[in-house]
């Protein structure tokens, strides 16, 4: 087990009707608020009205910035930064899913920075003063409600890049599973694929003797495998929605990676897809992860055999562990397929013609991954494995 520092200070307020508490929570942190959200869905569902009422009940002064898209854009972040400066905003409330939260985080780091906020994503500058943020979560997937990172897409060149800092972790996250009843099946399933990917990026490690976190990871994956079909069958199943929502947070607040070397190749490889083709991140991961496992598993048979046995309940064939592992890959693909997710680039309608360009871009700052370091050729091979 490696040395680590872990701190997840976010206050999680979880359960039915918890969004009504948002005014009281915000009041602890700020005087002038930016209310940040996506499109019309929170207005249609009535959530917008409930949040605004809760803010007004506490006499909280706020300005609004809507229009966050999936794979949130740098241009809107810059607009938000200008708005916060002009209005002297001291707290950002993100109401939405991971895209809105990530956009809020990027605005939060930019407000008190003199240069271009993209500098942080290119590693050109170190994050300093940050405006605190809070969250009302509507889509369990990215774990951004607890994580220290943000992923933003720069439309100039369609670069999708991340940056992170412990101070970026939200002060509070209000999580009412009922708010996810209205999610379309595809969004629900993509969210779970993203959650599972966050666990797997940590699970697949060469670090030995990490038994406790191995098992926490397996627990999280098994719970998703059990609960996604329930939520798809009955979108108003509170228990299944709640399990998915809470697991999504724990999958990515850092706990499951403590003491481990994490991988993150699949996320990088997927980012090129959703950067260029604007596919749903979780759906992209459902395509890339099985291909990645297929490409790398021979480098560490024990961790993948353990995954096959404990998570997918494949009876190990100790003479042919590769059979055991490949069976698990097929079970994982069947699981995603049954949830209505794509498992090939073809199903994502992604053609061949830019695969090389994506592999190039993915590795332009050096190889990706840590279980196995992957260079351009490897990434290209994985795209080809994912084709159909």
Which positions touch its own copies (CB under 8 A)? 1-16, 18, 208-209, 211-213, 215-216, 218-220, 222-223, 226-227, 238-239, 242-243, 246-247, 250, 255, 258-259
What minimum distance in Å lies between the beta carbon of 5 and its own copies?
Answer: 5
C-alpha closest to that of 267 among 257, 258, 38, 259: 257
What minimum distance in Å lies between the beta carbon of 240 and its own copies?
Answer: 8
C-alpha closest to that of 81 among 65, 62, 61: 65
What minimum distance in Å lies between the beta carbon of 56 and its own copies?
Answer: 23
What minimum distance in Å lies between the beta carbon of 361 and its own copies?
Answer: 36
What minimum distance in Å lies between the beta carbon of 95 and its own copies?
Answer: 19
Instruction: Name which of 259 and 316 has its Cβ closer to its own copies.
Output: 259
Ranges of H-type helices in 88-210: 98-110, 118-121, 185-203
Question: Could you give the count of Cα atoms lying within 13 Å of 99 in the half-sphere of its Cβ?
Answer: 22
Instruction: Name which of 6 and 352 has its Cβ closer to its own copies.
Output: 6
Instruction: Name which of 225 and 276 has its Cβ closer to its own copies.
Output: 225
Rounded distance between C-alpha atoms, residue 63 and residue 234, angstroms: 37
What minimum distance in Å lies between the beta carbon of 167 and its own copies?
Answer: 13
Angle between helices 211-233 and 321-338 (to 10 degrees): 30
Long-range contacts (CB closer than 8 Å, 24 or more residues apart) made by 354-357? 354/276, 355/380, 355/383, 355/384, 356/380
C-alpha closest to that of 68 among 41, 47, 31, 88: 41
What minimum distance in Å lies between the beta carbon of 278 and its own copies?
Answer: 31
What minimum distance in Å lies between the beta carbon of 128 and its own copies?
Answer: 17
C-alpha closest to that of 245 among 310, 184, 311, 174: 174
Instruction: Name which of 25 and 270 has its Cβ closer to its own copies.
Output: 25
Instruction: Name which of 75 and 302 has its Cβ closer to its own copies.
Output: 302
How many other β-carbons are positioned within 10 Å of the β-carbon of residue 236?
Answer: 11
Query: Please, are residues 169 and 145 in contact by the beta-carbon 8 Å criterion?
Result: no
Instruction: Name which of 90 and 178 has its Cβ closer to its own copies.
Output: 178
Instruction: Name which of 170 and 282 has its Cβ closer to its own copies.
Output: 170
Burial of 49 by CB count in 10 Å (0-12 exposed, 13-18 middle, 19+ buried)? exposed
Rounded distance between C-alpha atoms, residue 232 and residue 17, angstroms: 22
Instruction: Name which of 13 and 374 has its Cβ closer to its own copies.
Output: 13
> Which pair of tokens denotes residue 5?
């520092």
C-alpha closest to that of 374 among 288, 258, 256: 288
């Amino acid at each position: 087990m490696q040395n680590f520092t872990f701190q997840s200070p976010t206050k999680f307020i979880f359960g039915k009707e918890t969004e009504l508490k948002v005014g009281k929570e915000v009041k602890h942190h700020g005087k002038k608020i930016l209310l940040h959200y996506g499109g019309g869905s929170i207005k249609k569902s009535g959530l917008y009205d409930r949040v605004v009422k809760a803010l007004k009940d506490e006499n909280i002064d706020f300005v609004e910035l809507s229009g966050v898209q999936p794979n949130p854009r740098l241009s809107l972040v810059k607009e938000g930064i200008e708005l916060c400066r002009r209005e002297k905003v001291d707290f950002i409330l993100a109401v939405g899913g991971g895209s809105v939260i990530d956009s809020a985080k990027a605005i939060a780091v930019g407000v008190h920075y003199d240069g271009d906020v993209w500098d942080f994503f290119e590693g050109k500058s170190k994050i300093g003063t940050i405006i605190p943020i809070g969250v009302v979560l509507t889509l369990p997937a990215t774990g951004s409600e607890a994580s220290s990172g943000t992923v933003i897409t720069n439309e100039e060149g369609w670069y999708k890049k991340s940056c992170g800092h412990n101070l970026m972790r939200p002060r509070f996250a209000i999580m009412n599973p009922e708010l996810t009843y209205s999610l379309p099946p595809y969004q629900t399933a993509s969210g779970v694929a993203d959650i599972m990917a966050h666990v797997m990026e940590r699970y697949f490690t060469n670090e030995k003797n990490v038994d406790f976190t191995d098992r926490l990871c397996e627990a999280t994956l098994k719970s998703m495998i059990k609960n996604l079909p329930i939520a798809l069958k009955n979108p108003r199943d509170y228990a299944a929605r709640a399990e998915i929502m809470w697991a999504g947070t724990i999958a990515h607040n850092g706990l499951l990676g403590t003491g481990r070397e994490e991988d993150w190749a699949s996320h990088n490889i997927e980012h090129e897809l959703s950067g260029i083709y604007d596919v749903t991140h979780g759906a992209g991961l459902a395509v890339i992860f099985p291909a990645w496992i297929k490409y790398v598993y021979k480098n560490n048979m024990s961790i993948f055999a353990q995954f096959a046995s404990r998570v997918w309940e494949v009876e190990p064939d100790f003479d042919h562990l590769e059979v055991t592992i490949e069976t698990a890959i097929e079970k994982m693909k069947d699981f995603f397929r049954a949830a209505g997710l794509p498992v090939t680039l073809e199903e994502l309608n992604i053609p061949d013609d830019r695969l090389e360009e994506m592999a190039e871009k993915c590795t332009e700052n050096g190889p990706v991954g840590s279980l196995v370091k992957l260079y351009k050729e490897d990434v290209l091979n994985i795209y080809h494995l994912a084709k159909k």
